Amino acid sequence: MTKLTTALLIAALALSQQLSARTFAAQPPPESASTAHAAIQAAYDGMGTSFQAHDLERFMAYFQPDYIDIDENGKHLTKEQTRRGYSEQLGQLKSIQSQYVVRNIQAAPSGTLAEMRLHSHGTGEKRILFAKIRGHFTDDLWVRDLWVNTPQGWRIQRRQTLKDDLSTGP
């Protein structure tokens, strides 16, 4: 090996160690599964409170700016498309009670995966042409959310809907 090659290898190794140290220093400290579970459950509870209060801004603050929603059919929605959907739902709801239950927490390379079941029931009305249809609903939603711990708190990066059972009645 020439002196130039040796010098380049040493410089590359030093640079690699500096970058590795910076990357490691920028990562938040790892959390225990129980700490992550409690924090994510608290975030879901905050989402439920916000939605029940019809506070869409506070509800949507739990979603990352580049959030992606993947429905049961594989269709991808952006955060803005998701916001419009929730806005429409809130316009139809008269009352809602929800319970978020975190079923499983698992560390992932880009965050923390949480499998969650949401059970909701309530009443609402929907205008169709000149008539208002009033009724009640029950919804059981199972999702897999990718959460990231940001300086602003835990936020959902991606949601995959596993199953959504909605039933309605008069």
The structural domain count of the chain equals 1
Establish if 20 belongs to a structural domain.
Answer: no
Establish if 123 belongs to a structural domain.
Answer: yes
Position of tokens 């009033």?
Answer: 134
Cα–Cα dist 102/121, whole Å = 18
By residue range, what is the domain housing residue 127? 32-169
Please, which contacts does 62-67 make with residues 24 or more away whose CB atoms are closer than 8 Å?
62/154, 62/155, 62/156, 63/155, 63/156, 64/148, 64/150, 64/155, 64/156, 64/157, 66/157, 67/156, 67/157, 67/158, 67/159
Establish if 26 belongs to a structural domain.
Answer: no
Establish if 130 belongs to a structural domain.
Answer: yes
Establish if 17 belongs to a structural domain.
Answer: no
Bigger pLDDT: 76 vs 136:
76
CB 11 within 8 A of CB 87: no
- Is the pLDDT at 74 greater than 90, yes or no? yes
Establish if 8 belongs to a structural domain.
Answer: no
Establish if 1 belongs to a structural domain.
Answer: no
Bigger pLDDT: 99 vs 24:
99
The model's confidence at residue 19, banded by pLDDT at 50, 70 and 90, is very low
Establish if 84 belongs to a structural domain.
Answer: yes
